[in-house]
Structure 1
Amino acid sequence: MNAGHELVEQVYAAKTDTEAADSLIRRYMGFIRAETAKYIHRAPVEGQDEELSIVLLAFYEAILGYEKNRGAFLSYASRGIRSRIIDYYRKEKKHAKVTSLHEPVQDDDNETWKINQLENPENEIEKSHHTSATRDEIQEYEKKLQEFGISFSDVADNCPRQERTLQACRRVLSAARENPGLLDELLRTKKLPMAALSEISKTDKKTMERHRKYLVAVLLAFTNGYEIIRGHLYHLTGNRENSDT
């Protein structure tokens, strides 16, 4: 199997498998950092450069949106990253950090703008409201996770690895969603109501504690109106219809 075909298979597996997605993201962190460096003109610093988070999320979006007929995955991801970065700079108006993108340059005796050199001629940003909405929702979701002391990497590291454990977590998630009062308690106290969920779902507390961050992250997606994210997470609860409730 050649490298390109192997990568495509990995991307397709990552679409519905959080462990596979986490593994793929970790494997391509060098690519993600290199893409970020294109726009900030230096090596990105985790926790300091917001662009790194934007690129990381755009890479994950690329995994979800990729199809074989769209060409090589890394080229597809690079185009998506470029669109998100440009949109981010426009929306946030962080002129102090991106002045170089708005400076005039000479190109064949015609004055143009550096930011225009990055844009897709088809102006995909304006045409893709859904993609922009997805990015905004992911950013908002990330902020909500931070309120609970959870990061995306925490969620990926905390995902259940075995089918039996995944089924146990699904029972907990279903129990929580069927008892809105427990969800309210989670939002109010920022703590997972372990005792009640353990009793209702017949799941061992130790199992819940080992995967607490994962459970909290999924439940937050179902309690704060994150419709797009819920659509991607429906398989975690084993019921697509309930993803809209």
Structure 2
Amino acid sequence: MDLNFLKKENRDNFISENIKFIYKITNHVCKRSVSIENDEELSIAMIAFNKACDSYNNEKGNFLSYASIIIKNSLIDFFRKSAKVPYVTFSEEEDNFDYLDHKISMDNFNSSYENSIRAEEIKLFTKELSLYKLNFGDLVNASPNHKDTRDNLLNIALACARNDLILNKVKTKKQLPIKDICLLTNSNRKLIENWRKYIIALIILLSSGEYPYLKSYLNLKKVGENNE
């Protein structure tokens, strides 16, 4: 991964390029549209994104996935500190009051937020898969059972996602340029053909910045190490 954004002189441009991402994460956490003029939450999110740039390294996996976590945690911490009254519920069965601290509330909020983001990513990913005449059912049936096979296909897909020529052919023709992939990765043609649907799905995930949560299920650290 190109880490030039870690340098201070490139930071402003990098933040500008990712401002839509920062807005998107902030809007989802706040459950509303925010603006830089009226909402402190967006300022907190931008500071958190900058901190993510300062603290990021390749061992932390995909940068946008990492940044989304830093932004989310910063906003949740802000909500926690600004809350003034603990939540209270009354249990008739036990005839007493149960005081629920903010940590429990924020944990529930955190889980709900992650589920909503994940659901949105799946919806978007499903729509993109349909352009290739694929669906999640296809992927379930096309997914390898053995870890070695999954790792091998993941490395192949990452190499394709990093190759502009192959990626352009996949995006425009909506199919795999098998000959090019075999030459690039030194893979067996039959392997690529047998796992065509699975490889296409991985290339879509790896080449896009729209799926940080879905990417978190992939062993990206190992793949990166194998391709350096």
TM-score (norm 1): 0.43
Higher gyration radius (CA)? 2
* More RCO (CA 8 Å, sep 6+): 2
TM-score (norm 2): 0.46
